[in-house]
């Protein structure tokens, strides 16, 4: 299933395994934090806002 992973995540995992957690946070800290925040914001927006709205409209 590696073909489903974006290249930047593969690089992040490789850096984490080779260098350790401290170096990983030092090099990629804010970028990883913003990626996680945006991922969960999009996911929760679809799951808790869009999907109930579509069910209310009768589309689902």
Q: Which residues of 9-46 are buried (b: 16+ CB within 10 A; e: fewer)?
A: eeebeeebeeeeeeebeeebeeebeeeeeeeeeeeeee
Q: Over 70: is that where the pLDDT of 1 sits?
A: no
Task: Give the containing element (helix H, strand E) for 42.
Answer: helix 21-45
Q: What is the mean pLDDT of residues 43-58?
A: 91
Q: Over 80: is that where the pLDDT of 29 sits?
A: yes
Model confidence at 17, pLDDT cuts 50, 70, 90, reads very high
Longest CA span, the chain: 51
Model confidence at 57, pLDDT cuts 50, 70, 90, reads very high
Under 8 Å between Cβ of 24 and 16:
yes
Q: What is the mean pLDDT of residues 17-44?
A: 90
Q: Over 90: is that where the pLDDT of 9 sits?
A: no
């Amino acid at each position: 299933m590696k073909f489903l992973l974006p290249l930047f995540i593969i690089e992040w995992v490789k850096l984490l395994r080779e260098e350790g957690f401290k170096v990983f946070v030092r090099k990629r800290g804010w970028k990883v934090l913003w990626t996680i925040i945006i991922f969960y914001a999009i996911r929760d927006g679809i799951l808790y806002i869009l999907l109930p709205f579509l069910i209310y409209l009768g589309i689902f």
